[in-house]
Amino acid sequence: MDTIAAIATAIVPQQGSVGIVRMSGSESMKIATTLFHAPGQQVWETHRILYGYIRHPQTGQLVDEALLLIMKAPRSYTREDVIEFHCHGGIISIQKVLQLCIEAGARLAQPGEFTLRAFLNGRLDLTQAESIAELVGSQSPAAAQVALAGLQGKLASPIRRLRADCLDVLAEIEARIDFEEDLPPLDESEISQKIDSILNDLSIVLGTANRGELLRTGLKVAIVGRPNVGKSSLLNAWSRSDRAIVTELPGTTRDVVESHLVVGGIPVQVLDTAGIRETEDRVEKIGVERSYGAAKSADLVLLTIDAEAGWTELDEFIYEQVKHRSLILIINKVDLVQGELIKSIFYPETIKNIVTTAVINNEGIEDLEAAIIKAVNLDNVEVENLDFAVNQRQAAALRRAKISLEQCLNTIKNNLPLDFWTIDLRGAIYALGEVTGEDVTESVLDRIFSRFCIGK
Ligand code: GDP
C-alpha cells in the first residue's frame, strides 16, 4: 500500500504546544531519512525517539526542530511502518512538514485512513475501530468509558460468540443435508432451543443501544415556563454544582441559552429561553413561543412554575403546548411557601414526574437530576451490568440478525425443508459479521471511516 501522511493533532492556531505529523506505509522510513537530520550517534531503530531537525531536502532550509518516533511494522498502529514527527505546534511549520512528506512521496491520508489500515491489517476489528472514533468524540466521562470498553474488545467478544454459536447450529444442519443417511435425525426442539438462547443473548447486547445513543448524542433538555418562575436561576444553580461539567457554548439562536452539563454520566444539553424579562402580554407571548420552540427539539421538557403563584393560566397554556412530551414539573420557589401548603399546590394530575425546588438556595437540584435519570433510564438490570454499548450501525445489524433468527424459528415450526433453515441462519451470521467486520462491504467501510478525522 502507498504511504499516507497527515497531521494527527488538532490544529488550533497559537494553542497547540506539540503538533504531530504521522506517516504510514512502506516508504515512510525512506521519506523520514530524507527530511530528518539526527545529529550525533543516534541510531535509527524501531520504537526509538530521535532528536533533530527537519530540513528541506533540496535547499537544506531549516523547517523545525523536532522529535522523530519510529514504529516499524508490525508493531505499530496500522501494522505498517509508521513514522511520527513531533514538531512545535505552530500551524505554519507543521503544515510545512506535512507538505515536505507529500513532496517526498507520501499521499495525504483520507479521514480515518490510518485506522482503516489498522482494520484491514487485522489489528482492530470494526467495533474497536468505531470505538476509537467514539473515544475521540466523546463528550462525557461515561461516554469515554463506554468507548474504551469497546476498544478493549468487550463489545466484539459477545458478538463473536453469538456468531460462533450460529455457525455451530448451521454446521449441524448442513451435516444433515450432506450426510443424511449416516447421522441420527435432527432434534428440532434442541435446535430451536439453541436459537432461542442465542436470541436471548442477542437481545441483551441490543439492549445497550439506548444507553449508547444517550451517551453519544447526549440528552436535550428544555427548561420552559413563564417569565420569572426561576428558569435562569435553575440553570445557574445547576451549572455551579460540583456534579456538573459546564462548557458554556453560544446558543444556536440569540434567545436560547445552551449549557452543557453531565448528569449521571450522560451529557445533557440544556436549553433555556433566556432574555425574556418584561411581563407585558406581548413579550410574554413571544417568551411562550420561544419556550415552545425549544421544547419541540428537546428529549425532555422541564416545565417550571412558581410555588407562590401556583398554577396560573399561562402555566396551563404552556403545559397545553408541551404535554405530549416527556415532561418533569418543577415547582420552584418552595422556600416562599409554608411547608404544609406545598402539598396543596394545584397542577394537572396527568403530570406524574414532579420535583420541588428552591433553586435560589440550591435545594432540590439532586432530586431533579434523579428525576431526569429516571425519566430517561431505559436500561433493564441485565444491561446495567454491561459496560459497553452498541452504536446505531451495530444495532441495525443486530436487529437484522434477530429478524433472521426469528424467521428461522418459524421456518422450523412450519416444517419447511432444512435448506430454508440454513438460509435464515446465514442471514443472521452475515449480519453479526457486519458488526465486527468479518463480513462487510466496501461501501459500509467507506461510510464508517469517512466520519473519522484526518490523521486518525
Ligand atoms: P426566569 O425569568 O424564569 O429565568 O426567572 P429568573 O431565574 O430570572 O428568576 C426570577 C426571580 O425569581 C429572580 O429574582 C430570582 O432571584 C427569583 N428566584 C428564582 N428562584 C427562586 C427560588 O427558588 N426562591 C426564591 N425565593 N426566589 C427565586
- Give burial (CB, 10 Å; 0-12/13-18/19+) of 37: middle
C-alpha cell of residue 349: 394530575
- 348 CA to centre of ligand 1 in angstroms: 23
User: Which residue owns the Cα nearest ligand 1 atom 24?
Assistant: 333
pLDDT at 287: 58
Q: What global pTM score does this model have?
A: 0.71
Q: Are strands 327-332 and 300-306 parallel, antiparallel or unpaired?
A: parallel
- 323 CA to centre of ligand 1 in angstroms: 23
Residues with CB under 6 A from ligand 1: 225, 227-233, 332-333, 335-336, 358-360
How many residues are there in the chain?
Answer: 456
Is-contact 222 328, C-beta < 8 A?
no
pLDDT at 318: 86
CA atoms 344, 350, 354, 357: torsion sign: negative
pLDDT at 87: 94
Q: Which atom of ligand 1 is nearest to the CA of 233?
A: 7
C-alpha cell of residue 105: 512521496
Ordered per-residue pLDDT tens for the chain, 456 residues: 899 999 998 877 667 789 999 999 999 999 999 999 999 999 999 999 999 999 999 999 999 999 999 999 999 999 999 999 999 887 888 999 999 999 999 999 999 999 999 999 999 999 999 999 889 888 777 788 889 999 999 999 999 999 999 999 999 999 888 877 777 778 889 999 999 999 999 999 998 888 788 887 788 898 888 888 888 888 888 877 544 444 444 333 345 567 778 777 778 888 876 433 344 555 555 655 666 677 777 889 999 999 999 999 989 988 888 888 899 999 999 999 887 787 888 899 999 999 999 999 999 998 998 898 888 765 555 666 678 889 999 999 999 999 999 999 999 999 998 999 999 999 999 999 999 998 888 888 888 888 887 778
- 360 CA to centre of ligand 1 in angstroms: 7
Between CA 400 and CA 431 the distance in angstroms is 6
- 377 CA to centre of ligand 1 in angstroms: 30
Q: Which atom of ligand 1 is nearest to the CA of 229?
A: 3
Q: Which atom of ligand 1 is nearest to the CA of 235?
A: 7
